[in-house]
Amino acid sequence: MTGPPVRKAIFPAAGLGTRFLPVTKAQPKEMLPLVDKPTIQYGVEEAIASGIEEVIMVTGGGKRAIVDHFDRSRELEHYLEERGRSDLLHILAEIDDLSNQVDITYLQQKEPRGLGHAVWTARRLIGDEPCAVLLADDVILCDDRPVLKQLIDAHRTTGATVLAVRRVPRNEVSRYGIIETGGSKGGIHEVVDIVEKPSADDAPSDLAALGRYVLLPAVFLELDRGEPGAGNEIQLVDAIKRTIGTFPVVGVEFAGDYYDTGTVPGYLRANLTLAMKREGLREELAPLLRELLDGQPDRL
Ligand code: G1P
């Protein structure tokens, strides 16, 4: 099945980052680094590698740092040029290259009314075509095929709204949107219901929707209703749920390493893991970790 291509991606980045206070008091959580790169840059790189041409960042107050990050800094370039630091200039050139490959538009979500509301804020820029949504907190790395590309490919074959799903431990289901599946084929599940943050007892499965979506325009019509759900917020999951039955919705069990950077323990775990994978850092960190754990094997 071929419909219009998925060309636009929304990055909801208007959350207040309260789980990370005090560091997020004056700084967006999307700018927190994994090793040395802000989480939002991983998402933008993934979107571009998946064929996205337009990025829409939905920001709240105090998000200037995101705008500056993807903008050129002539002052810094000049400074590095004068000192012959072509190695560092190369890093700036990479960011510049990203913003040359996509148009980035910034929109303001005027009140923090939930993920669904943040996505709805971009409705006029999206128009009547399918679009992607990426949550920068969920960093998913896959050498073979970026996870968003995996979703876009599934959208192309099914014509459906697509969610990235993965099995999570039963005691963690209350942190996620959880799907109920009908039939499944080749890692693609038909979604017959979705529940936002259910209790372990009420969860219809252990398949969680993790931070990547391809949405059909019908989802925006449901968001238009502005109905609050769990936590009295307008939930993206609720709008998707209301399209089930009228429009197809599927979950793709994606390939890739998933890092939940949205909580402090998850964020630290992601940083340690990526740092240990990086040559040059691993050699420094491994002895330190051994030393810290020495004599405390129960902490492992
Ligand atoms: C959001 C979504 C939830 C999804 C999760 C993935 O929740 O509402 O459905 O499973 O992201 O990380 P949040 O983590 O913003 O509370």
DSSP for 164-211, written as a single string: EEEE--GGGGGGSEEEEEEEEETTEEEEEEEEES--TTT-S-SEEEEE
Phi and psi of 113, rounded to 5°? Answer: -110, 15
CATH class of 8-262: alpha beta
5: confidence class by pLDDT, cuts 50, 70, 90 = very high
Q: How far apart are CA 269 and CA 275, in angstroms?
A: 10
Query: What is the tens place of the pLDDT at every residue in 254-279?
Result: 999 999 998 999 999 999 999 999 99
Question: What is the CA(247)–ligand 1 centre distance, in A?
Answer: 22
Ramachandran bin of 159, using left for φ above 0, alpha for ψ from -120 to 50, beta for the remaining angles: left
- Domain ranges for the chain, please list them: 8-262, 263-295
Rounded to two decimals, the pTM is 0.93
Query: What is the tens place of the pLDDT at every residue in 110-136?
Result: 888 999 999 999 999 999 999 999 999
Atom from ligand 1 closest to the CA of residue 208: 10
Looking at residue 229, what is its pLDDT?
Answer: 86
Q: How many residues does the chain have?
A: 300
Tell me, what amino acid is at 60?
G
Pocket around ligand 1 at a 6 A CB cut-off: 115, 135, 138, 176-177, 196, 208-211, 237, 262
Atom from ligand 1 closest to the CA of residue 237: 9
